[in-house]
Amino acid sequence: MIFCSRNEDGVLAAEQVLGDIKVVTRRMRPEPVGAIRAVCPGRGKKQLCKIEILSCQSASDWMAETLVTSKTTAELEARLDGEARLEGFKSWQGLNAWFVGKYGLGMSQIEPQHRIQFKRVKQ
């Protein structure tokens, strides 16, 4: 999988994967749970490490579940910011701004997306 994007501080996503900071990504295509994937900082670039896919669900299912289980607006905001940190961003607003910049649309408007959680495979 290619991780060439940068967060709001300019840190490369592949570096965040190496540091076990980024453990969630959203992709247009689903990934099979249990699959091992190479992490590359760009197309045609050398593999930095490998990751194992732990879960994959549609982003809309994840969002619906998050909305239903959050009892207050403050709890929802905290959960969304926590999710953004799993993606390597400081806040949900920062992650959403990245999506707007990349696709011209907010995260809720991009279909289909899949929320993929992974862990780095220690070698």
Q: Is residue 8 part of a domain?
A: no
- Does position 105 have pLDDT exceeding 80, yes or no? no
CA pair distance 107, 27, nearest whole angstrom = 11
70 by Cβ neighbours in 10 Å (0-12 / 13-18 / 19+) ranks as middle
Kindly indicate the confidence band of residue 100, based on its pLDDT and cuts at 50, 70 and 90: confident
Q: Which domain holds residue 43?
A: 13-121
Q: Is residue 25 part of a domain?
A: yes
pLDDT of residue 110: 59
CA pair distance 59, 27, nearest whole angstrom = 9
Q: Is residue 2 part of a domain?
A: no
Q: Is residue 48 part of a domain?
A: yes
Structure confidence by residue, pLDDT tens digits, 28-74: 899 999 999 999 999 999 999 999 999 999 988 988 899 899 999 99
- Give the chain's mean pLDDT: 91
Q: Is residue 81 part of a domain?
A: yes
DSSP letter for 45, please. Answer: P
